[in-house]
């Protein structure tokens, strides 16, 4: 019994002692874990109390910081996304646009760096940009610019991306060399500098300016020499040097640099694939065919696991197909042909602007034809031909319907184009009536002429200041804002605008966003969800349906036609004539 009580006493004392070891202040809690490395879950011993303390005290700036740290120290990608959402919620509650912008960058970085999902990453970065427009935080501004540049780079806008990276490089370099800056800020700015440098190398390589790419690569290797804190960044510069050596036919040297890059690379399957690709091509040039194929297969393994591939690695499958074609291995040839078709569909989905520029030795039609020949050996010829006939008939029908649909879309677009050239388009169709005479309806609603005039004046201000873009706006909320009651407001809108409140509000929002799409090209790159939020509509489907009801054309079709018009206009063709000529 004495031993039993002694054990209980020791455990209880240990528990109290461990509780005493956890700091009581926000600063103390953060200092307790800030020396841990990324993905080190030991930090949650202190982060969890940090979160609970901030929640209990409703200290949203501290809660924002706690969730931001939780993203950094979580191992699981799903938990990183979950903590990023919580970070965004805390940022909004803190009332700081800078924190909101930072939270959007944080979430976008998870999509880009961890998942390689560029489209959702771009959506998050655009929201970050929106909230950072008026910030005085230059670090935040350049961080947003860097991430937008990364996505632009991967979408093929290399010149635009390069301009952004040059500005970022100048800023981060100056801050990294600032002796009055805290050591953690110096570290972050140095990372920003090195990452901007790496992205510039990619830009120059894509633009075929190899001398500038090589020059910057040497700078990057010099800056990261004997710097273990920047081993991840050094792996990228080693990769770039390996690619350069391959381009200059120094294949042994290329393999050496690329293997060094792999040795330092952590948690980046995209760049890992690039290393394997150029190691394989170098071995192929050295006549080590079997070794080359092993590396190409490693890229396929990454593709199968991650469902992601860079456009420049498309050739990997062409090389595998040719290898097994020479070996007369129809089974493997068919497998890698199918993989290439799958890769093409993913490239088209994730790199819609870049994929048309990719050189394709095996275009989609020839791949489908080759696949058909390989499969024909395993099926009856009659069945196969019958299926082809059915597919051909179906395609003809689909193409005809598509032609009819496109013709109708073009007509609707041209009608809308004429309306948009009218400066009054963004207002509702019915003009405000300024000379009001009292009639029987006035007596029913018991609204005096002076109240009507005042309400119409306020509605004009409401329209001019674009206050209709408020999310969740109802007639009751608007009535409060206009210092009236909803019955009066409803009656005036019905009588003077010729429509109910919901239709009136919907028309203002859709006409506003349509005018923006027509006048400001940047909006043409926004997603439908972002456009809906921009004009105050919560649902993507409601936005699309309302846009169609008012304009006679879906927003996606309008954006597509507007882009086509701008392209034709740039090439010197009359804008609308250029669109007509498509048909």
pLDDT in tens, 336-352: 999 999 888 887 776 65
Other CB atoms within 10 Å distance of the CB of residue 300: 20
3-state SS of 258-321 is HHHHHHHCCCCHHHHHHHHHHHHHHHHHCCCHHHHHHHHHHHHHHHHHHCCCCHHHCHHHHHHH
Q: What is the pLDDT of residue 385?
A: 67
Q: What is the pLDDT of residue 548?
A: 94
pLDDT digits (tens, 9 = 90+) for 163-205: 989 999 999 988 888 877 777 788 888 999 999 999 999 999 9
Whole-number Å distance between alpha carbons of 354 and 564: 16
Q: What is the pLDDT of residue 19?
A: 47
Domain-wise residue ranges, the chain: 25-136, 309-378, 440-552
Tokens of 227: 């710097």
Q: Is the dihedral of CA 339, 342, 348, 349 positive or negative?
A: negative
Whole-number Å distance between alpha carbons of 273 and 297: 10
Whole-number Å distance between alpha carbons of 96 and 60: 10
Please give the backbone phi and psi of residue 344, each rounded to the nearest 5 degrees, phi first.
-60, -40
Q: Where are the beta strands (DSSP E) in 411-466?
A: none
Positions of the chain with pLDDT lower than 70, given as ranges: 1-21, 350-373, 375-386, 422-446, 571-583
Q: Nearest 5°: CA angle at 232, between 231 and 236?
A: 110
Whole-number Å distance between alpha carbons of 528 and 556: 8
Question: Of 202, 205, 176, 170, which is closest to residue 189 (Cα–Cα)?
Answer: 176
Predicted structure pTM score: 0.55
Q: What is the pLDDT of residue 199?
A: 93
Q: What is the pLDDT of residue 257?
A: 94
Q: What is the pLDDT of residue 292?
A: 92
Tokens of 198: 């790496």
Q: Where are the beta strands (DSSP E) in 78-133?
A: none
Whole-number Å distance between alpha carbons of 158 and 312: 14
Provide the total of helices (H) and of strands (E) in the chain, helices listed first: 28, 0
The architecture that CATH gives domain 440-552 is Orthogonal Bundle (1.10)
Topology of the domain comprising 25-136: 1.25.40
Whole-number Å distance between alpha carbons of 67 and 80: 9
Residues 6+ apart with CB under 8 A from 206: 153, 156, 158
Whole-number Å distance between alpha carbons of 145 and 151: 10
Residue that is written with structure tokens 């006679």 in the block: 552
What number of CA atoms fall less than 13 Å from residue 111's CA on the CB side?
Answer: 22
Whole-number Å distance between alpha carbons of 133 and 326: 57
Whole-number Å distance between alpha carbons of 56 and 429: 52
Q: What is the pLDDT of residue 2?
A: 56
Residues 6+ apart with CB under 8 A from 488: 445, 447, 451, 455, 479
Residue that is written with structure tokens 């002692």 in the block: 17
> Would you tell me the crossing angle of helices 381-420 and 501-519 to the nearest 10 degrees?
100
Q: What is the pLDDT of residue 366?
A: 44
Question: Of 533, 546, 545, which is closest to residue 470 (Cα–Cα)?
Answer: 533
């Amino acid at each position: 019994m004495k031993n039993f009580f002694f054990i209980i006493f020791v455990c209880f004392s240990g528990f109290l002692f461990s509780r005493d070891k956890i700091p009581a202040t926000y600063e103390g809690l953060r200092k307790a874990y800030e020396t841990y490395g990324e993905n080190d879950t030991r930090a949650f011993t202190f982060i969890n109390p940090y979160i609970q303390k901030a929640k209990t005290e409703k200290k949203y700036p501290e809660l924002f910081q706690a969730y931001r740290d939780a993203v950094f120290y979580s191992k699981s990608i799903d938990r990183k996304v979950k903590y990023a959402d919580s970070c965004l919620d805390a940022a909004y509650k803190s009332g700081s646009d800078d924190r909101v912008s930072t939270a959007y960058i944080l979430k976008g970085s998870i999509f880009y760096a961890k998942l390689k999902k560029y489209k959702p990453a771009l959506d998050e970065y655009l929201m970050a940009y929106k909230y950072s427009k008026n910030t005085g935080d230059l670090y935040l501004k350049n961080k947003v610019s860097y991430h937008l540049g990364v996505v632009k780079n991967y979408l093929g806008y290399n010149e635009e991306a390069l301009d952004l990276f040059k500005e970022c490089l100048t800023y981060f370099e100056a801050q990294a060399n600032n002796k009055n800056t805290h050591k953690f800020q110096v570290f972050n700015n140095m990372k920003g500098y090195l990452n901007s440098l790496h992205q510039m190398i990619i830009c120059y390589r894509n633009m075929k300016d190899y001398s500038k790419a090589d020059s910057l690569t040497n700078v990057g290797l010099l800056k990261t020499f004997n710097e273990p804190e920047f081993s991840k960044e050094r792996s990228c510069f080693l990769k770039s040097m390996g690619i350069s050596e391959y381009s200059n036919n120094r294949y042994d040297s290329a393999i050496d640099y690329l293997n060094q890059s792999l040795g330092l690379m952590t948690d980046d399957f995209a760049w890992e694939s690039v290393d394997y690709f150029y190691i394989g091509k170098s071995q192929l040039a050295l006549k080590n065919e079997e070794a080359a194929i092993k590396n190409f297969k490693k890229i396929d393994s990454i593709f199968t696991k991650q469902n992601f591939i860079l456009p420049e690695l498309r050739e990997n499958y062409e090389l595998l197909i040719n290898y097994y074609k020479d070996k007369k291995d129809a089974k493997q040839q068919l497998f890698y042909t199918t993989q290439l078709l799958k890769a093409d569909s993913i490239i088209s989905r994730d790199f819609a602007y870049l994929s048309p520029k990719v050189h394709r030795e095996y275009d989609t039609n020839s791949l489908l034809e080759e696949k058909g020949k390989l499969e024909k050996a395993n099926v009856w010829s009659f069945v196969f031909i019958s299926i082809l006939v059915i597919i051909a008939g179906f395609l003809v029908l689909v193409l005809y319907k598509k032609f009819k649909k496109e013709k109708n879309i073009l007509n609707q677009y041209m009608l809308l184009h004429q309306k948009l050239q009218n400066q009054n388009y963004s207002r509702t169709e019915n003009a405000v009536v300024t000379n009001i005479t009292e009639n029987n309806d006035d007596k029913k609603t018991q609204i005096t002429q002076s109240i009507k005039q005042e309400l119409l004046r306020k509605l004009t201000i409401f329209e001019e200041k674009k206050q209709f873009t408020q999310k969740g706006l109802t007639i009751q909320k608007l009535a409060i804002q206009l210092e009236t009651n909803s019955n009066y407001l409803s009656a005036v809108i019905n009588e003077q605008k010729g429509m109910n409140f919901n239709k009136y509000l919907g028309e203002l929002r859709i006409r506003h966003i349509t005018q923006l799409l027509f006048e400001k090209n940047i909006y043409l790159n926004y997603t439908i969800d972002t456009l809906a939020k921009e004009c105050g509509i919560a649902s993507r489907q409601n936005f699309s349906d309302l846009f169609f009801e008012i304009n006679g054309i879906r927003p996606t079709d309008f954006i597509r036609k507007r882009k086509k018009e701008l392209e034709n206009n740039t090439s010197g063709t009359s804008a609308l004539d250029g669109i007509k000529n498509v048909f």
